[in-house]
Amino acid sequence: MRALWTSAHGMAGQQLRLDTISNNMANLNTVGFKQQDVDFKDMLYAQIRQTEVTGALQGRQTTSGLRIGHGVLPVGISQQFTQGTLLQTKNLLDVGIEGEEGFFEVGIYNAAGNLTGYAYTRDGSFAVGYDRNQVPYLTDSDGNPVLGTDRLPISLEGFDVSSLQVDKTGRMTALRGGVREAVGQLELVQIEHPDTNLEPFGDNLYALKDAAAPTALTRGAYNLPNGATLKQGYMEQSNVDMIGQMTSMIMTQRAYSMNARALQTVDQMMGMANNLRNG
| Tens digit of each residue's pLDDT (9 = 90 or more) over 249-274 | 999 999 999 999 988 888 888 888 77
Residues in the chain: 279
Q: Are residues 224 and 146 in the same domain?
A: yes
Q: Are residues 203 and 261 in the same domain?
A: no
Q: Are residues 215 and 266 in the same domain?
A: no
Q: Are residues 97 and 229 in the same domain?
A: yes
According to the model, what pLDDT value does residue 85 have? 93
- Please tell me the least confidently modeled range out of 124-128, 169-173, 265-269: 265-269
Regarding beta strands 46-48 and 86-88, do their DSSP bridges make them parallel or antiparallel, or are they unpaired? unpaired
Question: Helices 242-278 and 2-26, interaxial angle, to 10°?
Answer: 160
- What residue ranges in the chain does DSSP mark as E strands? 36-42, 46-48, 66-68, 72-79, 86-88, 95-98, 102-109, 115-121, 127-130, 136-139, 160-166, 171-176, 179-185, 188-191, 198-200, 206-208, 217-218, 229-232, 234-236
Residue 76's closest CA among 193, 195, 170, 185? Answer: 195
Give percent of the chain above pLDDT 90: 57
Q: Are residues 69 and 140 in the same domain?
A: no
According to the model, what pLDDT value does residue 277 have? 65
Please tell me the distance from the alpha carbon of residue 103 to that of residue 276, in angstroms, as a whole number.
66
Check: CB of residue 63 under 8 Å from CB of residue 191.
no
Q: What is the mean pLDDT of the chain?
A: 88
Mean pLDDT to the nearest integer, 70-99: 91
> Which pTM value belongs to this model?
0.81
- As for how many domains the chain has, the answer is 2
Q: Are residues 256 and 143 in the same domain?
A: no
Check: CB of residue 98 under 8 Å from CB of residue 235.
no
Q: Are residues 209 and 92 in the same domain?
A: yes
Q: Are residues 114 and 63 in the same domain?
A: no
Range of the domain at 252: 2-80+241-278
Mind listing the pLDDT tens digit for each residue in 64-80? 667 777 888 898 888 99
Please tell me the distance from the alpha carbon of residue 256 to that of residue 16, in angstroms, as a whole number.
11
Q: Are residues 107 and 216 in the same domain?
A: yes
- Please tell me the least confidently modeled range out of 25-34, 45-54, 234-243, 260-269: 45-54
Q: Are residues 160 and 133 in the same domain?
A: yes
Please tell me the distance from the alpha carbon of residue 198 to that of residue 206, in angstroms, as a whole number.
6
Which residue, of 202, 217, 236, is where some domain finishes?
A: 236
Q: CB 204: neighbour CB atoms within 10 A?
A: 21
Q: Are residues 187 and 248 in the same domain?
A: no
Q: Are residues 72 and 91 in the same domain?
A: no
Please tell me the distance from the alpha carbon of residue 204 to that of residue 144, in angstroms, as a whole number.
11
- What residue ranges in 49-101 does DSSP mark as E strands? 66-68, 72-79, 86-88, 95-98
Question: Phi, psi (5° rounding) for residue 237?
Answer: -85, 170
Please tell me the distance from the alpha carbon of residue 180 to that of residue 175, in angstroms, as a whole number.
4
